[in-house]
Structure 1
């Protein structure tokens, strides 16, 4: 029961990370522009992986999708690919983890097969968390480098809320995958110990009991002869 509950908690944590990363990927707040220090007419300007948005003084928000996705900066294209890969790995890990849960009857009923499914799902969650962590950290490093670069002539943005969501989702992703993998590994070690000591006890019971041959036994045998 303890192993099953720990698997469910780990899966829920990983699914929470998946939802957070999905929202962060579609968000337009990866970097924001502080309008108090720049001569712009909009109240705020933000940019994401897919489009940029601006809020006018009357309260309306206008968003514009990037016309040419391949004309974006190299780090932006790489971050898109990493975030998409992270989400796809999360979906695949969620499916395999559901097949590997002890409390489900989906797929194979063999405990070893279920454990392999769960461990594979945990590794996919960890790999997906690493992909999203690299993407978010890389994007944040580029924004920070441009902001503090005195020779940069472009618009200087600041870190947006979507980056913090991405970091939080990546941590949930990896922690859920690690807990899911450790729960299955702990169960595997427990089964190995039970089988090992159970076999040793059964083997010892089958062996005949022999008594040590002492000198008194040798003397008594000679008297009978």
Structure 2
């Protein structure tokens, strides 16, 4: 795999991982809509952990969600998916750093390093899928409540954190796809360690006898008693 492609894929995955960390604690996952309201006295915005309100004077007051079990199912699922996304991204960064050709970690077995880099790409893809499912599920509930004419509660609009999450998922999917595709493409010029093997060629016997062979191999026509 080309080292430039590996570096670019790692940059995309790392950037997506950072953006997940930004989107998870972000306050504006959804913000109260002003559509149809002539006078707006306060603005309500929520994330996965708390609900905040800002009045016309700019004073904010936040309240944590009192119970995990009392929350809606999509909020609990979004929490779990976003945390899993951060974990997958961490594993993806570690595996890609080990599997990069320019890295000395893991020795010089470039075939194995290429496979490890491919595993890092799988983790990045899982990170992107978890993030995409979490933010899309959350946004789907917002839009469903917004367009429901009989919904009695406060209607919300999509917040900034969801756009950050979508961008993060796109970057992670692109980086992971590059690593997964690159691990299957081997070139003839790729560095592959060649283990030392002793020579297997047999000894070539020459038709011309050597000096040592001529001393011991010359037949003698005299008996043993001829030298007495």
Tell me the TM-score range normalised by the shorter chain. Answer: 0.7 to 0.9
What is the match of residue 217 of structure 1? none
Tell me by how many angstroms 1:193 deviates.
Answer: 11
Matching of residues 175-186 of structure 1 within 5 Å:
175-186=174-185
Which one is further off, 21-30 or 164-173?
A: 21-30
What is the match of residue 52 of structure 1? 51
What is the match of residue 165 of structure 1? 164
Partner SS, residue 69 of structure 2: helix
Distance 1:77 1:192 in 2: 50
* Structure 1, unaligned runs of 5 or more: 196-225
Distance 1:159 1:106 in 2: 43
Matching of residues 139-158 of structure 1 within 5 Å:
139-158=138-157
2:67 is the alignment partner of 1:68: yes
Higher helix share: 1
What is the match of residue 21 of structure 1? 20
Which one is further off, 76-85 or 61-70?
A: 61-70
Distance 1:162 1:193 in 2: 42
Distance 1:92 1:193 in 2: 26
* Structure 2, unaligned runs of 5 or more: 193-228
Which structure has the larger Rg?
2
- Contact 2:21–2:86, Cα closer than 8 Å, also in 1: yes
Partner SS, residue 15 of structure 1: helix
Which one is further off, 5-14 or 27-36?
A: 27-36
After superposition, the Cα gap between the structure-2 partners of 1:7 and 1:58, relative to the gap in structure 1 and judged at 3 Å, is same
Tell me by how many angstroms 1:35 deviates.
Answer: 4.2
RMSD: 2.2
Distance 2:107 2:40 in 1: 61
Distance 2:190 2:49 in 1: 53
Distance 1:72 1:6 in 2: 43
Residue deviations 1:47-70 (CA, integer Å, cap 9, x gap)? 101111222222232222212122
TM-score (norm 1): 0.79
- Contact 1:35–1:45, Cα closer than 8 Å, also in 2: no
TM-score (norm 2): 0.78
What is the match of residue 94 of structure 1? 93
Tell me by how many angstroms 1:194 deviates.
Answer: 11
Which one is further off, 62-71 or 146-155?
A: 62-71
What is the match of residue 124 of structure 1? 123
Counting matched residue pairs gives 191
Distance 1:82 1:56 in 2: 32
